[in-house]
Structure 1
Amino acid sequence: MRHTLSVLVENKPGVLTRVSALFARRAFNIKSLTVGETEHPDISRMTIIVDADTAPIEQVKRQLGKLINVLKIVELNPDEAVERRMLLMKVRADETCRTSVLQIVDLFRAHVVDVHPEAVVIESIGSLPKLEALLRALEPYGVTELVQSGAVAIGRGDHSITDQLKEN
């Protein structure tokens, strides 16, 4: 089962190492991991996606909560969160197929960010299913290079987990 954890941590050196080591010790493969500062420069948010059974993930959450620099852990329900990833891909697009490639890019509301006589670099931001569909649509033209970010996720509505931090 897929779990998305939003973890607030102190923005200090070594925190990422300690958090990822905890998952490694439990033999969990992290599917996606992103880290960045929040609206508070001294706090970072980690978005961690793992596949795990419910009981083991609860144990990991408890162990995460015991780490010194971890401030708050929230498991995001997919129905109550917005999740996005970014994808950059280089696609063959010479003069014979460039128009077709650009039509697909437009259809998926993606953007061409670099043009070369034989290829284009495309940027797309969206949910994993949208990015996978774009990739499938462009594969026949020849995807020569691909890089993607991990997921970032945030809960829907007006509540903030950093506000919840102040309440504790």
Structure 2
Amino acid sequence: MKVLQVVGYKDAGKTTLVSEIVRELSSRGLLVGTVKHNAHDHEPDIPGTDTWKHREAGAHATAMVSETRTLWRREVSTPLPDLIAAMQSADMNAVIVEGFKQSSYPKLVLLRGDEDVELLKLPGVMAAVMQQSATEAESMAQRAGIPVFRTDNRQFDSILRFVADWCMM
């Protein structure tokens, strides 16, 4: 199973790129799981729904099951390696992780500009993705042997080919 992180600062385009990667890999017949880091503890359950009412009443774990899916939620943080292991036991071919910058899985770093150049020093960087030119970042990536992909005008073809080729190895 391949694990790929997509990291960057707020508004760098992480969720957009993750969605494009999932779409591409799924279209190639891979089973793809995702894990998203939530630094702000946002509420993912809609207030007023039954599962929200269960949690509000004090349930530490809540499951919702239908004919086609299961949602399992626990009121505890789970380490990324445990989530990856669960995805592997669920027979995923690939897991795309959004965030968790300090983890050492292979990663794409999304750079908004030269101000994000320090992201190139993270462990496991396999490529940099930029929406616009950033001279210092591109130069630093080149010196480190890190390929740089541009996504001007939401053109993702080259980075998606790169990721798909890597996942299919």
TM-score, normalised to structure 1's length? 0.28
Decide which structure has greater strand share: 1
Larger Cα Rg: Structure 1 or Structure 2? Answer: 1
TM-score, normalised to structure 2's length? 0.28
